[in-house]
Structure 1
Amino acid sequence: MGSDVSGAWGGRAGSWTGSGSGTCRAGVGDLVTEFATEWDDVRFASRMWERETVDGARVDMRVHVLRGDRLASLANLRDFLAEYHERDSSTPALIESRIGTAPGMIGATEAFWLVAPGIGVNVIVAPEAVDLPGLAAVAGSIVPVEA
């Protein structure tokens, strides 16, 4: 049995939901935490799935909805996330892909896409919890809630 990304969450970054097709693989823990933060003038609304382990806890999946003027293009989003996650922005592990109808990038453990200028979504998974098809399915299910 897996965890479901359905149900709205959000805050200052807007309200978002995952559809029923966004059910995660059985490896994703069912402890869900939501929080909002800001880093370098970009606002985050985040949801995190984790599980208890012998050593404490393990994060299986994180979804961040980001809002900020500096996220004007997919390249800007990629560069921001590289800086935020402290990695090289030219990493070949990510390939350009459509996430739903939006331009994005996906790799074995991460997907991100530009919903509109100034709005991006970032999904990060633990490889032992969610495989690439599972990541693509979860990413494709995350949409803004219509007001």
Structure 2
Amino acid sequence: MTRDGGELSGFHIGYLPAEVGEQVSDFATEWEDVRFATRVWERQVEDGYRVDLRVHVLRGDRLTDLGAVRDFLADYHERDTATWELAGFAHPDGPALAGDTEAFWLVEPGVAVEVLADPQAADPTTLRAIAENVTRTPDEAGQGRGGAGGSRGGSRRPRERGQRWALLGRPHGPVIAKT
């Protein structure tokens, strides 16, 4: 069974596999002058909660091309660009890169989207299917960098170096208190 992920900051998340948890949280954050609207799907497990999927809509002047997006995300996730294995793919909104657990693309200068998945919830083929079905809503077309709407809550605080949110023991994003 598949389901729809709703709208987030001017984008429609059109496909979620059944393996993605039912608990959903939205956050609005900012790091290094880039604003994030984030939706997280998680499930309760024996030891707490496991994050299955995250979608980030990023907005900022430094996101000028796909290389700039890759460099920003490498810094944000504390990845080495020399060893980060990514392959190009064609997203309906623009040029894209994907690895085994993440996919991202430049929608237009100043706007990018990133999808991160737990491999237990989505294999690389499913990850790309999720990513390819994250598309601009009709209202987003022409809105560009200005529209940050769509977040239903969360907190807005800058990420400090060293703060973590672990996804399968790897660093993937900030620790943000849910409010």
**TM over 0.5, shorter chain:** yes
Establish whether residue 49 from structure 1 lines up as the match of residue 41 from structure 2: yes
Pairing 1:50-129 to 2, within 5 Å after superposition: 50-129=42-121
Cα distance in 2 for residues equivalent to 1:23 and 1:110: 15
User: What is the total number of aligned residue pairs between the two structures?
Assistant: 139
Q: TM-score, normalised by structure 2?
A: 0.74
Paired position in structure 2 for 1:18: 13
% identity of equivalent residues: 49
- Asked if the contact 2:8–2:57 (Cα under 8 Å) also holds between the matched residues in 1, the reply is no
Runs (5+) with no aligned partner, structure 1: none
Paired position in structure 2 for 1:9: 8
Q: TM-score, normalised by structure 1?
A: 0.89
1:2 Cα offset (Å): 4.7
Taking only aligned residues, the RMSD between alpha carbons, in angstroms, comes to 1.3
Deviation string 1:37-84 (CA, Å, 9 cap, x unpaired) is: 100000001111000000000000000000000000100000000000
Give the ranges of 4+ consecutive aligned residues of structure 1 lying more than 4 Å apart after TM superposition: none
Cα distance in 2 for residues equivalent to 1:139 and 1:41: 24
- Asked if the contact 1:17–1:144 (Cα under 8 Å) also holds between the matched residues in 2, the reply is yes
Paired position in structure 1 for 2:123: 131
Runs (5+) with no aligned partner, structure 2: 140-179
Cα distance in 2 for residues equivalent to 1:29 and 1:55: 15
Cα distance in 1 for residues equivalent to 2:3 and 2:23: 9
